[in-house]
Structure 1
Amino acid sequence: MLITEDLLHYLWKFRLFERTELRTTDGEEIEIFSAGLAHTDGGPDFQNARIRIGDTTWAGNVELHVASSDWQRHGHQTDGAYENVILHVVYRDDAPLTLNDGRKVPTLKLQDRIPESLYNRYHQLIFSNQQFIPCEGTIVNVDSLTLRNWLTRVLVERLEKKSKTVLDALEQNRGDWEETFYHFLAANFGFKINALPFELLARSLPQHILGKHKNSALQTEALIFGQAGFLEDDVQDDYPRKLKEEYTFLRKKYQLTPVEKHLWKFLRLRPQNFPTVRLAQFAALISGSSHLFSKILDYKEVATLRNLFTGLQVNEYWQAHYRFDAESKPSAKNLGAGAIDNLLLNTVVLFLFSYGKQQQQQYFVSRSLQLLENLPAEQNTIIEEFVNLGVKLNTAFESQGLLELKNNYCNHKKCLQCGVGNKILKLA
């Protein structure tokens, strides 16, 4: 058998080895009352175990190794943290273990106690050459309740990791939630490919400056397009000339430095997604709303949240343009339903969760998860692969959980730390 320490940890934690007539390598009887708590920060693998060895019940730590000799190889003999180990659990016993004080540590050998069926399932998960995920042939056999519970856990893990970025930015913005939300919302208006220049734009143009001109759509548009670098060149049409005139004055007034225009990407984008169109929509949103984050906190219904981004009054110039000075066939330039759901998913959900965590208000955390339940599942190659394997999903709650599962468990073959992998290993 090809055994790893991860497998031994899993077997010990869930007591999935043959436990009849357990004895140490010296023949003393063993009874396990508690396997202890898994410990990953250095020191023995399990702490606070409670085990009877012979006639004595011990409370202390348990260390696991594939081979007994790994104790020396890992340098535990010089580490005082291992002096209170009450049991050494190994797959193969190839060397007696004696501590520096002369005490011999009892050893439990599991070499002949691992069920063959469990090992075969483990080997199939960890060592087979699957193309997408280790359990791609068996995930369909996992019951919906197990899958749902695990997706809930990994989804929260995903949001907690992302919320750290929000809270770090909040600290940089001196606790200003509105400004921080504005920065993240701008980045998400870039829809990945133009996220960086959008974020740089927001950082270069503080919200309080825009607030001074919220009653003038033209000045708001001038500030946004000017700071984006699109008014640095000569323009011909009347509308961009007016923007440039306004921006020239405002730039000097506020001592602004625009983003470099070359950062914006047009290549391989549909015209509807050109950064110029997204900037026009962003300007319409900023011009038509104030205290946006406060509204996010107040609005409870998904439909109401969607309405914040629906029907934005984009300047009529853009109805027949995708770029300055380049007329095109007339078309509406409103944000589509998919784009709005993307903003809700990647900005609103994240900020509700982060705010709830930072303020210690579970209400907003629950609202963030509820919002995910009311948004449709994303459509991308990873989600399509899961669907092809027979995984049923309908909501962004499920698709976000699956993305976290794939990226942080499946890709690293962390099947023994995964609720789905655990269930597969235990299947009869």
Structure 2
Amino acid sequence: MKEDFLHYLWKFKNFDTLNLKTTKGEVVTIIHVGFHLKQAGPDFFNAQIIIGTQKWAGSVEMHLKSSDWYVHHHEQDSAYDNVILHVVWEHDIDVFRKDNSVIPVLELNNYVSSKTIDNYQSLRVTKSWLFCENRLANFDEFLLRNWQERLFFERLERKSKSISNLLTQSNSDWEEVLFVLLARNFGLNTNGEQFFELAKSIPFSIIRKESSEQINIEALFFGNAGLLDSEKQDEYYKELHFRYYYLLQKYQLNKPILPPVQFFRHRPDNFPTIRLSQLANLYHHHYNLFSKIISSNSVESIYALFEVSTTSYWLDHYQFDKVSPNKRKMLSKSFVDLLIINTIVPFQFAYAQSQGKENSDYLIQLLHEIAPEKNAVVDKFKFFGINATNAFETQSLLQLKNEYCNYGKCMNCAIGIESIKN
């Protein structure tokens, strides 16, 4: 058993609340359970309880055993001085306040039905992938949709914090932060961090100044990525090499030492050469990309912004010095969908928050129009009965698996809570 089970029982009052008594025999009446604090300090704040004939207002702390109070050294923490009730599963020792009075104890195991305990224990048995995997297919659809919406915005909030951190580092330059995060997503999983560091290594003011010359931006990208370090006979390679070192001198830049980009296990259309050229082309065509993205109000308008290809050299190349069949290498719809999911939507959300505006309904609708992501997590949920039909649902499922299921937070999850109700 874990303490989160006690938190659940108390928060939802899923026990016999009519016959409560402390371990000293005093009648307990719960007026308000308080507010659950998921941070340092007591578990529930501002509870209101009648113990005997005395009404109390203060904090409630919970432990599996009373002695855990001392194990966690709460006696040394003034944040616990206003605890009015100690709720435990097993009472094994009295806990004293600083004035030597005993904190009243409610031993909860005496008031919880055996069915609730059995439901909880069956939820916590050894899992193959999820604790509740055998219950997902029958979960109430209305409750699931409400839970998915909360999960979706939790995920957006987390991504928004990353954007806020980058804004602090960039002196609140939204265009610059958009650039480095788009670069990361252009690199996908394999080259994402390399592209991210590459973008951070180039002052965005230089991207602004050189955006009229696509080949100059491409030279900066390829040079900082270490793709211009060898000797080649290719004339385009030589031109990029010349421009790169000219730009280093022009802007007094040092060539950064970055992790090498990877070609291995990539399909040719995802080679770093192709993705970097497409990224350069994007910034060549859109000087004020951030404002265009923020003002976009439909998935079609976003798709239009990302109708970009490579420079002409890459029509019949994937690597330098190696000619390939001629092919126009446009950003695919599925690739732009990933950009919308991982960069555009978090940016629109973060910017709206910074302006004190609300765009939740729009973002939900936007991702309902995007195809569901394809990955192992989404496939597993489908196997157990939850079939995602759009990107809004897949983002919610990723949040559920990564932030709840992986950490066994069943008592903080709507599915887990519903699973153990009587």
Structure 1 and Structure 2 fold alike (TM over 0.5): yes
Within the candidate set 343, 347, 360, 1:347 is matched to 343
| Unaligned segments of structure 1, at least 5 residues | none
Is it true that 1:152 corresponds to 2:149 in the alignment? yes
The alpha carbon displacement at 1:162 in A equals 1.7
Is it true that 1:179 corresponds to 2:176 in the alignment? yes
CA distance in 1, matches of 2:244, 2:58: 71
Which shows bigger deviation, 386-395 or 152-161?
152-161
The alpha carbon displacement at 1:224 in A equals 3.0
The answer on whether the counterparts of 2:261 and 2:272 sit within 8 Å (CA) in structure 1 is yes
SS in 1 for 2:328: coil
| Unaligned segments of structure 2, at least 5 residues | none
Deviation readout 1:80-136 (Å, 9 max, x if unpaired)? 44443332322223334454434343332222321122111211222x111111110
Report the CA distance shift for 1:40/1:241 in structure 2 as closer, same or farther (over 3 A). closer
Structure 2 partner of 1:292: 289
Structure 1 partner of 2:251: 254
Pairs aligned (count): 422
The alpha carbon displacement at 1:21 in A equals 2.5
CA distance in 2, matches of 1:38, 1:164: 23
Is it true that 1:315 corresponds to 2:311 in the alignment? yes
Structure 2 partner of 1:84: 82
CA distance in 2, matches of 1:6, 1:414: 8
The answer on whether the counterparts of 1:62 and 1:89 sit within 8 Å (CA) in structure 2 is yes
Structure 2 partner of 1:21: 19
The alpha carbon displacement at 1:262 in A equals 6.4
SS in 2 for 1:255: coil
The answer on whether the counterparts of 2:223 and 2:241 sit within 8 Å (CA) in structure 1 is yes
CA distance in 1, matches of 2:41, 2:311: 64
CA distance in 2, matches of 1:240, 1:223: 13
CA distance in 2, matches of 1:163, 1:271: 32
Deviation readout 1:28-63 (Å, 9 max, x if unpaired)? 322221112223434433222222222332222323
The answer on whether the counterparts of 1:319 and 1:331 sit within 8 Å (CA) in structure 2 is yes
CA distance in 1, matches of 2:379, 2:195: 29
Instruction: Give percent identity, aligned residues only.
Output: 41
Q: How large is the Cα RMSD of the aligned pairs?
A: 2.2
Deviation readout 1:332-378 (Å, 9 max, x if unpaired)? 31111111111111111121112122232223x55444322221211
Structure 1 partner of 2:164: 167
The answer on whether the counterparts of 1:139 and 1:424 sit within 8 Å (CA) in structure 2 is no
The alpha carbon displacement at 1:410 in A equals 0.4
CA distance in 2, matches of 1:24, 1:218: 77
Deviation readout 1:216-256 (Å, 9 max, x if unpaired)? 33333333333333233222233323333333433322233
Deviation readout 1:1-38 (Å, 9 max, x if unpaired)? xx432222211111111233222233332222111222
CA distance in 1, matches of 2:387, 2:337: 20
Which shows bigger deviation, 177-186 or 97-106?
97-106
The answer on whether the counterparts of 1:229 and 1:258 sit within 8 Å (CA) in structure 2 is no
SS in 2 for 1:194: helix
The alpha carbon displacement at 1:423 in A equals 1.3
CA distance in 1, matches of 2:334, 2:192: 17
Report the CA distance shift for 1:64/1:282 in structure 2 as closer, same or farther (over 3 A). closer
Structure 2 partner of 1:101: 99
CA distance in 1, matches of 2:118, 2:370: 40
What is the letter of the counterpart of residue 373 of structure 2? E
Within the candidate set 51, 62, 83, 1:53 is matched to 51
Report the CA distance shift for 1:240/1:67 in structure 2 as closer, same or farther (over 3 A). closer
What is the letter of the counterpart of residue 176 of structure 1? D
CA distance in 2, matches of 1:129, 1:16: 24
Report the CA distance shift for 1:46/1:330 in structure 2 as closer, same or farther (over 3 A). same
